[in-house]
Amino acid sequence: MRQTLLVKHAVSGRMLIDSGKQDVGFSLNQDGDGWRIDIEVSWSETIEEILKLKEELNVFVFYEYDDKPTLKTWYYVGNAPVEYGIELGLLTIQAQSRIEYYPHEYSV
């Protein structure tokens, strides 16, 4: 199984982080009623932009399998905390809710 993490600006759809194209590690864990996404990434203008847009973020994780369809999970951030720890190089995004879906079930 291959996992890809995307962080996008919800309003414009602009891609901010794509683990398939950038060298970033990430972990995802349930945290109380929500989810915590920790992304290992160096400080940059993009991180600064993410912190400015923190209430307008969508996070997606794609789970790609060899023997079954891709599962996508959409994490809605809303007004949950988004923080950057410069000493660890860690962007932490809290998500309030999530939706799992198979894209092929919604094709027209």
Question: CA–CA separation, 31 vs 86, rounded Å?
Answer: 22
Q: What is the pLDDT along the chain (108 residues), one digit of tens a residue?
A: 999 999 999 999 999 999 999 999 999 999 999 999 999 999 999 999 999 999 999 999 999 999 999 999 999 998 999 999 999 999 999 999 999 999 878 766
- What's the pLDDT score for residue 105? 84
Q: Say whether 43 sits in a helix, a strand or coil.
A: coil
What tokens does 26 get?
A: 């990430």
- What's the pLDDT score for residue 107? 67
pTM: 0.91
CB 105 within 8 A of CB 53: no
Residue type, 2: R
Q: Say whether 48 sits in a helix, a strand or coil.
A: helix
- What's the pLDDT score for residue 108? 63
CB 56 within 8 A of CB 12: no
